Amino acid sequence: MANRASAPEKRPGFFSQIRSLFKFTREIYPWLPWAQIAILVAGVLVGLIAGYVIPPFQIWTLVLWGISGLMLGILGAMFLMTRLSTSAMYQKIDGMPGATGHVLSTSLGRNWQASETPVGINPKTQDAVYRTVGRGGVVVVGEGSRGRLTRLVNDERSKAERVAHGVPVTVLYVGHGDDDVTIADLAKTIKKLPKAIDKATMGAVIRRIDSVSQSLSSLPIPKGIDPTKVRSQRPR
């Protein structure tokens, strides 16, 4: 009997994605629906006032202005939900293994290259080290206990300095200590680093570092997380 070809996975539609994003954000911000309703009402009122004040005053123009205000309110409500969803994601993944990899691989833009897979990890404690290379040089990011990360971070920094001589190497630790960077500010902090190399040098540095990196495929490495499916935080 011939094997049946597996049916292609159906991607969620636009409204399904909006609904999922709304539910996800509302878990952190329960007042979101009321804020969105207020924005919609305010948009309609602004449209009606504009239709009443701006001549000529006619019923059909008032209706059109009201519809325009409603559309403006919808845009405002969507903008609010999008901004809050980002904040909600950071709150949910804060402290979870793999959160750093998720942020580095999705939030840095085209001027930086990173993977959600750590370049060094302690399999017992899941303390991990990540690396990203961009116009600001090489950034080594530690996720976990700073004391347990010392050797892993130093090894990765030494390797980067050895193969990318002259390129600045910055070390960051994700956490809530005095010298740590919170997960919400990680991408912002990296993007603020001054540009030190051009794109050609950046590509050369990436190739050099990758050529000396050892394969970690046999280790139980957390490959990032799906922020819409996170559960309660795991204490370190």
Same domain, 82 and 174: no
pLDDT in tens, 41-88: 999 999 999 988 888 878 888 899 999 999 999 999 999 999 999 889
Q: 217 and 110, same structural domain?
A: yes
55 and 150 co-located in one domain: no
SS3 assignment, position 30: coil
Same domain, 105 and 217: yes
From the number of C-beta atoms within 10 Å of its C-beta (0-12, 13-18, 19+), residue 101 rates as: buried
Q: Quote the CA–CA distance of 2 and 163 in Å, as a whole number.
A: 53
Structural domain that includes position 140: 99-224
Judgement on whether residues 119 and 147 belong to the same structural domain of the protein: yes
Residue 6's pLDDT band (cuts 50, 70, 90): low
Each residue of 182-211: pLDDT tens digit?
Answer: 999 999 999 999 998 888 888 888 888 877
Same domain, 213 and 103: yes
Distance, CA of 37 to CA of 177 (rounded, Å): 39
Which pLDDT value is given to residue 194?
92
Q: Supply the pLDDT for residue 8.
A: 55
pTM of the model: 0.72
Could you report the per-residue pLDDT of 91-120, keeping only the tens digit for each?
Answer: 888 888 889 999 999 889 888 998 888 998
Q: Does residue 56 have a cis bond before it (omega within 30 degrees)?
A: yes
Q: Are residues 111 and 206 in the same domain?
A: yes
Number of domains within the chain: 2
Nearest to 133 by CA among 192, 217, 186, 207: 207
85 and 137: one domain?
A: no
The rounded distance, in Å, linking the Cα atoms of 40 and 34 is: 10
219 shares its domain with 104: yes
State the pLDDT confidence band at 2, using cuts at 50, 70 and 90: very low
Domain membership flag for residue 236: no
Residue with tokens 């009321």: 34
Q: Is residue 203 part of a domain?
A: yes
Q: In whole angstroms, what is the distance from residue 56 CA to residue 62 CA? A: 10
Residues 176 and 218 in one domain: yes
At 113, list the tokens: 């290259």
pLDDT in tens, 153-182: 999 999 888 888 889 999 999 998 888 999
Say whether both 118 and 218 belong to one domain. yes
116 domain-assigned: yes
Cβ neighbours for 176, distance < 8 A, ≥ 6 positions apart: 182
Same domain, 89 and 103: no
Indicate the DSSP class of residue 229. G
